Structure 1
Amino acid sequence: MSEVQQEQAAPAPAPANGLNGTATQEEEVRLMTEEELEREKMRPPDIDQDMKEMERRKRVEAIMNSTIFREELEKIVESQLTEGYSGYQAIQNISEMMGIPCSRVNTFRSMSSVIPINDIRGMESLSFAKGEKLLRCKLASVYRLIDMHGWTQSIYNHVTARISQDTEHFLLNPFGMLYHEVTASSLVKVDMQGNIVESGSTNFGVSVAGFMLHSAIHAARPDIKCIIHLHHPAVVAVSALKQGLMSLSQESLLIGDVSYHEYQGIFVNQEERDKLARNLGPINKVMLLRNHGVVCCGETIEEAWYNTFHTVLACETQMRMAPLGLDNLITVTDEARHAAFEVARRGAGGVDSKQEGGPTGQGPKERKWKVGELEFEALMRSMDNCGLRTGYIYRKPLVKQDTSRFQSDVALPPTASNYTHLFDEDDITRSPLKRILDGRKVQDKSRWLNSPNVYQKVEVLETGTPDPKKITKVEIITSENLIK
């Protein structure tokens, strides 16, 4: 092989310190970056937005999968819960601390506008008796519940409540307001003749058809305090069936016997009042208005809501079964229907261990819940947690009352190792700043109690005035002076 061929066959010398190789790699990376930028410029806006969203989700997923982040978040939520906040309030407080705009989270609908229910404040509250004020808050809360469940029909339909047995006055909504706008002060008070006794906080009137319907039932049934009228689609569909509401579900059994009233047009005819009252009967509290809707009554507002809720569920269940053929469905026997109704009339569904004396029936019995009270109170809690300020007075607040336990010296020897829980002053999970603040609070409370000084009031003359007056001054006698 010649020298020229050997020189050509010899490999090229390696670059010193690899600088040329590094420069080549950097050049390739730069070219790739420029190509990616060019491709991004050529992307349509919607694809570019999707790519950015994918990158954001990757970052969020990486943070959420972090064990450290999860442990810190659990500690913060736990500390919020120990301070008395609910789960929702704890999350909201954390979001506010992190600067995240927190929207109200709720399973109900129509929560975009939060208007307080109990808007009776200051001098305005003096114009209402305590019972009427609470009744207004409850009735306005029912309007909100109907709206949250999506059972409204714009400004139509109505819910009324009798104020007392002595006065033939009842409350209903102003005609023209949506259900989520109804408040305690906006309810209108009318008498049995349709005269407005108190117009509330608005300039609206009342629905004539609503007044005629409700006044007929209130006049014929003094035992009924609250009436709810709805046009729910499933209820209207069942009211148009020849069979009416069938005993197909447990919800249909809890409302008892159902009455029916034939449709005779919009309810503005005075002659229809007597027929409506006769069709409802002396005992029944649910009446389907053929091709129209339903009227659900109750001796209390809670019972009226209880009957309404289960009527809607029963009608929805029946309409889901209807495509299978009504002849193919199995109905509940009359004996089982009456037995289920009697149990549910005990209140709390008839299955509350506190009310029934415990699982064995031998425990201490508390005051019984009336029909629908326990369920209604739970709904009021959920609304108050959303900031709606229902004004409801809770019979059973969510505050656990621990009974005092006697600690025996034998069962619990005076050793630190026998404690199975941490006391507040021994909580090692608290931050140093919180410990300092808590300790300062305790010191401020007990500082004056433990002070060895003596304080007494003495009368002295003013100084610097031509006509001095006697003033009372607190003189401190220290423990050192007492010793002397």
Structure 2
Amino acid sequence: MSEQVQQQQPPPMNGAATQEEEVRLMTEEELEREKMRPPDIDQDMKEMERRKRVEAIMNSNIFREELEKIVECQLTEGYSGYQAIQNISEMMGIPASRLNIFKGSQSLIPINDIRGMEGLGFAKGEKLLRCKLAAVYRLIDLHGWTQSIYNHVTARISQDTEHFLLNPFGMLYHEVTASTLIKVDMQGNVVDGGSTNFGVNVAGFMLHSAIHAARPDIRCIIHLHHPAAVAVSCMKNGLMPLSQESLLIGDISYHEYQGIFVNPEEKEKLARNLGPVNKVMLLRNHGVVCCGESIEEAWYNAYHLILACETQMRMAPLGLDSLIAVSDEARQAAYETARRGGGGVDSKQEGGAAGQGPKERKWKVGELEFEALMRSLDNAGLRTGFIYRRPLIKQEAARLQSDVALPPTASNYTHLFDEDDITRSPLKRILDGRKTQDKTRWLNSPNVYQKVEVLETGTPDPKKITKVEIITMENK
């Protein structure tokens, strides 16, 4: 039996060797197959391997414990759950969403959907105003400041009329276009219902009509419920002068919360709290109202207010008493500089440092920044219909024609009809005049020319050649 066992042991070893050879051959075949694999399939295989590694890391207990420690540390420092996740994303190198506001946007509905004869039914400048107002709704949506179908942005047609535009109640901000905006008067009567079947929100109309009626100088009003702005409105100190953005919007008014804005008696209190000069007002426990003499200025105030509120909320865990506020003199200086427009520091429009340089067309508050945002929307394919004051591509002046670029020809007379005769030098003008006289004299000559065949001279084998013989009037 032992001999049989000893005799039977070698075959398994041979079988194992055969299996090793098969494995080795299969590996070589796989290598050859990988070499012949198309690039797209090879990329998919690498992506699958990467996902396996990520899945292994996510299922790791060590990674889970480290992540829980980081989150717990963020929460103990006073950050909320959302802020903790945002801080972790920044530590991992993930850019903030507002740094690339147009990435991942699925809104491709054109802003300017007014075509052809449709624009003739609007008042003077109303079509452009509709396009700019609809663009503001898109900007608010792309920045992530929306609250479903709520909140409103309105624009007054002109100071001479009591009509203003606002969004239909029931549409999301990325759906608002120039034709969908509704035109109403100060009494709430719908003048133009737009291209939709939606109506007007009562609370939104009450809030905006109160400001438009009391302040004819205000052209646009933006009302937002941004979380940072609501949080600052709940603080007793309100918005503090802690950042440069908080200085650019000037003095701020406050209005105490009295419930949803549907009571007509509250309109007078709201207008009185806003005052005759201020353009930004925090609604306690509610939100913010940003106004402007133009749509550009209203957006400028809203954008910087949100940045100022976000900055203050980031500083809040440190303790407001330990923060350094900006002095009143510095606040006034920063505000006056920002009111110049063009960022407040455009030296070219001011004529240089000494004021002696060439002066360009001045920008009003928020116009330069708003035009840049309109370019971003147009580049994204949203067709804003905006009229640019400063086109992106530089327009070069037409260069004068020259003989180097366009050499003259001897077979035509186009030089007689050149339009740049004034720009030519006096010497060139005299020479061109002589050429013209010679050609004119040759064409108007009374001489007659005829062809004559003569024999060559000076050759042993002369050939006939053709010459032109001039027969003058005297020979006749």
Shorter-chain TM-score range:
0.5 to 0.7
Q: Report the equivalent of 1:115.
A: 109
CA change 1:300–1:28 in 2 (3 A) is: closer
**One of 172, 176, 196 as aligned partner of 2:166:** 172
CA change 1:450–1:313 in 2 (3 A) is: farther
Q: Report the equivalent of 1:30.
A: 25
How far 1:26 sits from its partner (Å)? Answer: 9.6
Question: Does structure 2 retain, via aligned residues, the 8 Å contact 1:238–1:244?
Answer: yes
Q: Report the equivalent of 2:445.
A: none
**TM-score, length of structure 2 as denominator length:** 0.65
How far 1:165 sits from its partner (Å)? Answer: 1.4
Listed as ranges, the matches of 1:57-456 within 5 Å are 107-108=101-102, 111-402=105-396
Partners of 1:35 and 1:249 lie apart in 2 by: 62
Question: Does structure 2 retain, via aligned residues, the 8 Å contact 1:255–1:286?
Answer: yes
Partners of 1:112 and 1:227 lie apart in 2 by: 27
Partners of 1:32 and 1:372 lie apart in 2 by: 66
CA change 1:402–1:263 in 2 (3 A) is: same
How far 1:123 sits from its partner (Å)? Answer: 2.1
CA change 1:357–1:405 in 2 (3 A) is: farther
Partners of 2:127 and 2:335 lie apart in 1 by: 32
How far 1:450 sits from its partner (Å)? Answer: 6.7
How far 1:350 sits from its partner (Å)? Answer: 1.3
How far 1:358 sits from its partner (Å)? Answer: 2.7
How far 1:366 sits from its partner (Å)? Answer: 1.5
How far 1:341 sits from its partner (Å)? Answer: 0.3
Listed as ranges, the matches of 1:460-479 within 5 Å are none
Question: Does structure 2 retain, via aligned residues, the 8 Å contact 1:106–1:386?
Answer: no
Partners of 1:312 and 1:249 lie apart in 2 by: 12
Partners of 1:235 and 1:292 lie apart in 2 by: 9
Q: Report the equivalent of 1:418.
A: none
How far 1:312 sits from its partner (Å)? Answer: 0.2
Partners of 1:28 and 1:233 lie apart in 2 by: 62
Q: Report the equivalent of 2:13.
A: none
User: Residue by residue, what CA displacement relative to the aligned partner does 1:14-34 show, whole Å, maximum 9, x if unpaired?
Assistant: xxxxxxxxxxx9977524347
User: Residue by residue, what CA displacement relative to the aligned partner does 1:434-476 show, whole Å, maximum 9, x if unpaired?
Assistant: xxxxxxxx9xxx9xx9799xxxxxxxxxxxxxxxxxxxxxxxx
- Kindly, what percent of the aligned residue pairs are identical? 80
CA change 1:357–1:401 in 2 (3 A) is: farther
Partners of 1:141 and 1:124 lie apart in 2 by: 19
CA change 1:312–1:31 in 2 (3 A) is: closer
Question: Does structure 2 retain, via aligned residues, the 8 Å contact 1:214–1:227?
Answer: yes
How far 1:113 sits from its partner (Å)? Answer: 2.5
Residue identity in the other structure for 1:32: T
Partners of 1:28 and 1:167 lie apart in 2 by: 87
Q: Report the equivalent of 2:462.
A: none
Q: Secondary structure at the match of 2:208?
A: helix
CA change 1:124–1:405 in 2 (3 A) is: closer
How far 1:129 sits from its partner (Å)? Answer: 3.3
Q: Secondary structure at the match of 2:372?
A: helix
Question: Does structure 1 retain, via aligned residues, the 8 Å contact 2:206–2:264?
Answer: yes
User: Residue by residue, what CA displacement relative to the aligned partner does 1:153-203 show, whole Å, maximum 9, x if unpaired?
Assistant: 000000000001121000000000000000000000000000110000000
Q: Secondary structure at the match of 1:197?
A: strand
User: Residue by residue, what CA displacement relative to the aligned partner does 1:52-91 show, whole Å, maximum 9, x if unpaired?
Assistant: 327899xxxxxxxxxxxxxxxxxxxxxxxxxxxxxxxxxx
Question: Does structure 2 retain, via aligned residues, the 8 Å contact 1:109–1:147?
Answer: no
Residue identity in the other structure for 2:110: P
Residue identity in the other structure for 1:281: G
How far 1:124 sits from its partner (Å)? Answer: 1.2
Partners of 2:102 and 2:346 lie apart in 1 by: 26
Question: Does structure 1 retain, via aligned residues, the 8 Å contact 2:233–2:285?
Answer: yes
- Alignment RMSD: 3.3
Question: Does structure 2 retain, via aligned residues, the 8 Å contact 1:109–1:149?
Answer: no
Partners of 2:370 and 2:165 lie apart in 1 by: 19
Q: Answer with 1 or 2: which has the greater Rg.
A: 2
Question: Does structure 1 retain, via aligned residues, the 8 Å contact 2:101–2:143?
Answer: no
Question: Does structure 2 retain, via aligned residues, the 8 Å contact 1:225–1:297?
Answer: yes
Partners of 2:251 and 2:358 lie apart in 1 by: 34
CA change 1:35–1:203 in 2 (3 A) is: closer
Q: Report the equivalent of 2:417.
A: none
Listed as ranges, the matches of 1:14-29 within 5 Å are none
Partners of 1:353 and 1:211 lie apart in 2 by: 42
